[in-house]
Each structure stands twice: as structure tokens, then as C-alpha cells.
Amino acid sequence: MPPLFPESTTAELAARAAAVMTPNYRPLPLILTGGSGARVHDRDGRTFLDMVAGIAVNCLGHGHPRLATAIAAQAAELVHISNLYLNEPAIALAETMIARTFGDRIFFANSGAEANEAALKLARRYQTTALGSPEKTGILAYHHSFHGRTLGALSVTGQPKYHKGFEPLVPGVVFATFGDLADTARVIDAATTPVGTIIVEPIQCEGGINVPDQGFFTGLRELCDARGIILIFDEVQTGIGRTGTLFCYEQFGMTPDILTTAKGIAGGVPLGAMICTEKVSVGFEPGSHATTFGGNALATRAGLEVLRVIQDDGLLDNAKAMGAYLASGLQALVAKYPDICATERGMGLVRGLELKDGVQTAAERATFITALAREEGMLINVVQGTTLRFVPPLVVTTAELDECFAILDSVFSATI
Ligand SMILES: *Cc1c(COP(=O)(O)O)cnc(C)c1O
């Protein structure tokens, strides 16, 4: 396609963007225009190895031919028709997702936050209407969690910095320590509003790539069963193959009642989904929840193609193998730079490398490292100020990861 701004410099366009967009983002003056696989390039001809992947969204990488063809073909036929009618891509994607998960039914939304809103509303309505427990409107979530920015999803996000200025939030939400069953039980017992729902991420990604001990989730399942609590797994970031299985819960030997996913689901086309058991699904009835765009033909066709490519190209196995390779390469760097790196952690292709304080603080180091890495041709970002996050596309190769390690080695050797 011809460029929209052939006469303007990147700096000019960054200034124009800053003049017209609301001030809630702090974008780098970097305008990306295309890419292929785990590589992306900007309008000034610089190429980057992309370890951000649209924040764990571009699971097939950039410019994937099958995804591009599917989107173009669907767009030429039918983009959207509303939920007053059915469309074939939504039926196909729904059947595929149900066949490959614990779930019996699915609701399509447009984002992670919206999938979580649907889950929280379904769980509450199931408790108060289907089960006849109108008092159980309380929700337990975890400190350092992240569930999205709508008021409901924000209310269960355990990071006070995101709440500032938006209170009052949804009432009846209590927070426990992630990975701690005893604390979960204690907080439920102490809650003034009886807890009917628990929402939890299998790995806290925005919260710093926190992985709980084996046994936490089987224990949490037992606790929910014993107390009649609906368990929601937020797999918005860990889903769609990122941890080496289609969903992360598969590795914990238990199933939630409701699962939400988004980010990677349609390779970058906005789509979210809430999957639930038949039992819990009766919390909704016609009219109780809806979205105009959710499950439209374009987005679900993209989602269907993503799942087909993951299957045809063995991307779950690749995520598993490349995840192990990424982990060992990052561990080698932790061993080589013990004064800079604290730990490496994660599952599959969602990994964090936590920095230490030195001459500079860990946060200053994180800023320095991401900026120098960019100069050396790699995009990475930081969670919680001090943990480098690695969420490359599921198609990433050993050669690309070797390049990532070499850039980190060079950048760490220049870090004070
Ligand atoms: C990104 C994210 C969300 C929010 O998704 P949006 O599409 O930005 O609304 C929710 N939960 C988790 C775990 C996420 O990583």
C-alpha cells in the first residue's frame, strides 16, 4: 500500500500523534510498518527482532501469509452482521475451541477486559440467579494481578497504581496472596461480602511473570468445590499456545469453571473469548449479556486460521522447545552477569528476567537495557519496572533466540 505520509519525518508524525491522541500512552517515536515472522521494520528502514510481539498478541509473527489471506478473503465476503444472525466462521471457531478445551460453551468478545467482564457477570449471575445465592456477590482476586482496564476488570486488578483516581470501584472485591492457599482461605473467611467467584491468572504476566508452585491450582480447585465458588482462569496472555499447551491450565491437572482468553487468539485482529462449562452457562439467558462486534465474521475467521496454523505447523511443540531454549539462554546470562540479573522465570514462551540494583537501580537498568537493545535491533519491554519480558511469536527460531542472547550479552556488558 502507498505510504500515508510520504512527506513527513517520523519525528514530525510523533509530534502530530502527541497533539491529537489522549495522553494515556507514552509511545516511543518508532513507527512500525511491516514485518515477517519474528522480525518487524519501521518506516525508516530499521529492522528489529521482536520479543514483544504486540504484547503476546502476534502469535504467528508478522505478515503470516495464511492469516493475511484468510483475513483478506473473509473481508471481501462479509466483515460483520451483528449477533441477530449467525455466521459460519464463529460456529467453526466455537466448535474448535470447545473440542480442544474443558469447556462446553463459548462467548466471543473483543478484548481481554471484555472477556473478563463477561466471566465476572456470568459467575455472579450464576450464583445469584441459577444457584439462588443472592448474597454471594463477592469476588476474590490476587495482589499483583492484571485483568484489564474496564471498571469491572480494573476492580479485580490487584495493583493500586491502576486504581488511582477511578474509585469507587466495584464493591465486594477482596485480594489474597498469589500462590498461597492458606491466605486465600483466610481472606474468604474474613470477607464481609460472601465470596462467590475467584478470578486468577495461571501465571501473573503483567505482575512480573510470577509462576505459582505446583499444587496451588489443584488446591484452589478443591477449595472452590468445597465452598461453592466459581473459578475463573484469566488466560488472556497465557492462552493460545504461549506456554506450550493450547491453554496453561492443561499443565496443572485441573480445570476452571470459566476461562477467558484474548491477546493471541486471532493473531492481532481484536477478539476475546469466554469459555465455560454447561453447568455454569445457565447463568446467562437471552438478553442477559451482549456485544455488538463480538464474534464477528472477520475476527472469528482470523481466530480459526490461527488455530489451524498452530495445528498444521506444530506450533505448540515449537513453543515448548523454544521456551526451553529461551529459558536456558536466559539462565546462562543470569549466571554470566550475576551483578545485573536476579532470576529468570516463566513457562514456555512467556519469560521474565528480573534485574538487580547496581550502580544504577534495577529500574534505571531496565530503561537503559531496553533502549540499548532497541539500538542494537531488538524490541523487549519491561513489567513491574524491573523485569524484562520475553513473549516472542510462537514461530520464533533457535537462530533468532541466539541473536536475542547475543544482543543481551552485548547490552549487559555495557550496563553499570
Ligand atoms: C492483557 C491482559 C488483559 C486485558 O486485555 P485487553 O485486551 O487489553 O483488554 C487481561 N488479563 C490479562 C492476564 C492480560 O494479560
H-helix segments, 291-396: 297-312, 315-336, 362-375
Residue written as cell 540479573?
341
CA of 236 to the centre of ligand 1 (A): 5
Q: What domains lie within the chain, and their CATH numbers?
A: 10-63+315-413 (3.90.1150.10), 67-312 (3.40.640.10)
Q: Give the 3-state secondary structure of 115-180.
A: HHHHHHHHHHHHHHHHCCCCCCCEEEEEECCCCCCCHHHHHCCECHHHHCCCCCCCCCEEEECCCC
Q: How many CA atoms lie within 13 A of 265 on its CB side?
A: 31
Q: Which atom of ligand 1 lies nearest, measured to the CA of 237?
A: 15
User: Is the minimum distance from the CB of 146 to ligand 1 under 6 angstroms?
Assistant: yes
User: Is the minimum distance from the CB of 236 to ligand 1 under 6 angstroms?
Assistant: yes
Q: Which atom of ligand 1 lies nearest, measured to the CA of 114?
A: 9
User: Is the minimum distance from the CB of 207 to ligand 1 under 6 angstroms?
Assistant: no
Rounded-to-integer distance, Cα 19 and Cα 390, Å: 32
CA of 337 to the centre of ligand 1 (A): 32
Q: What are phi and psi of 131, to 5 degrees?
A: -85, -15
Mutate to test the pocket of ligand 1, among 151, 154, 206 (most ligand atoms within 8 A of CB): 206
Mutate to test the pocket of ligand 1, among 263, 347, 384 (most ligand atoms within 8 A of CB): 263
Mutate to test the pocket of ligand 1, among 117, 145, 147 (most ligand atoms within 8 A of CB): 147
Contact between residue 89 and residue 265 where contact means Cβ atoms under 8 Å apart: no
Q: What's the pTM value of the predicted model, to 2 decimals?
A: 0.98
Residues whose CB is less than 8 angstroms from the CB of residue 13 and which lie 6 or more positions away in sequence, other chains included:
5, 31
Going by CA atoms, what residue is nearest to atom 10 of ligand 1? 147
User: Is the minimum distance from the CB of 262 to ligand 1 under 6 angstroms?
Assistant: yes
Residues whose CB is less than 8 angstroms from the CB of residue 178 and which lie 6 or more positions away in sequence, other chains included:
142, 143, 144, 145, 200, 204, 207, 210, 212
Q: Which atom of ligand 1 lies nearest, measured to the CA of 234?
A: 13
Sequential pLDDT tens for the chain (416 residues):
889 999 999 999 999 999 999 999 999 999 999 999 999 999 999 999 999 999 999 999 999 999 999 999 999 999 999 999 999 999 999 999 999 999 999 999 999 999 999 999 999 999 999 999 999 999 999 999 999 999 999 999 999 999 999 999 999 999 999 999 999 999 999 999 999 999 999 999 999 999 999 899 999 999 999 999 999 999 999 999 999 999 999 999 999 999 999 999 999 999 999 999 999 999 999 999 999 999 999 999 999 999 999 999 999 999 999 999 999 999 999 999 999 999 999 999 999 999 999 999 999 999 999 999 999 999 999 999 999 999 999 999 999 999 999 999 999 999 99
